[in-house]
């Protein structure tokens, strides 16, 4: 069961929040968070609103799946208010195939009211620390739009390196494409190149 100890944190602006494992009871809060993301940052998402798991039951099942898989993790930054607001969320999932299970991929979002406060960096660092301590995870990967300069800067600052750029990988609409960067951070020793 993938869990981390809850930690009280403070953003660069003095906002206090709790960084903790997401649990099924957070499903509605996560749905509200997703609505904010879709309204303010959809240009950086591959998934369209109609493709998301937008029912409470499906979101609960998604959270439970992340809790049940020993190599998966879902972390949230919560303000502790009533009602509670998800300030950010990050998920990590390994591949199902055995030969690829030593690595996984991150997805992250931060609420529009608290971007540039360090919450995204804290969420990412939470996954990185967990992966370093995990017995089988060796590499944390992610994909990011080339146009998302703020995210690319954060990932590089955390030690992620570009693996490759996929030209015109994401079709935003008729005749409109975005390039995508695949980035990775080895949390164990980097293996020698081989073939």
Averages of pLDDT over runs of 10 residues in the chain (195 residues) are 88 95 95 90 86 87 92 94 89 94 95 95 98 96 96 97 96 96 94 69
Q: Which CATH number fits domain 7-142: 3.60.20.10, 3.10.20.310, 3.40.50.2000, 3.40.630.30?
A: 3.40.630.30
| pLDDT at 126 (0 to 100) | 97
| pLDDT at 1 (0 to 100) | 55
How many residues make up the chain in this entry? 195
Collapse the DSSP code of 3 into the 3-class scheme (helix H, G, I; strand E, B; otherwise coil) and give the result: coil
Query: What's this model's pTM, rounded to 2 decimal places?
Result: 0.92
Residue ranges per structural domain of the chain: 7-142
Query: Which secondary structure element, helix H or strand E, spans residue 121, and what is its range?
Result: helix 119-133
| pLDDT at 65 (0 to 100) | 92
């Amino acid at each position: 069961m993938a869990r981390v100890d809850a930690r009280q944190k403070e953003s660069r602006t003095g906002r206090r929040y709790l960084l903790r494992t997401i649990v099924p009871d957070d499903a509605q809060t996560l749905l509200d968070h997703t609505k904010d993301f879709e309204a303010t940052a959809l240009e950086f998402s591959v998934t369209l609103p109609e493709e998301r798991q937008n029912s409470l039951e499906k979101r609960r099942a998604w959270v439970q799946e992340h809790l049940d898989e020993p190599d998966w993790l879902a972390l949230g930054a919560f303000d502790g208010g009533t009602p509670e607001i998800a300030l950010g969320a990050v998920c990590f999932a390994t591949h199902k195939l055995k030969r690829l299970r030593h690595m996984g991929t991150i997805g992250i979002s931060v609420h529009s009211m608290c971007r540039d406060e360090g919450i995204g960096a804290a969420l990412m660092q939470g996954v990185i620390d967990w992966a370093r301590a995990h017995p089988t995870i060796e590499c944390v990967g992610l994909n990011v739009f080339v146009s998302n300069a703020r995210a690319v800067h954060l990932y590089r600052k955390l030690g992620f390196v570009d693996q490759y750029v996929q030209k015109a990988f994401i079709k935003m609409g008729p005749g409109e494409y975005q390039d995508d960067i695949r980035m990775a951070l080895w949390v164990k020793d980097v293996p020698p190149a081989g073939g």
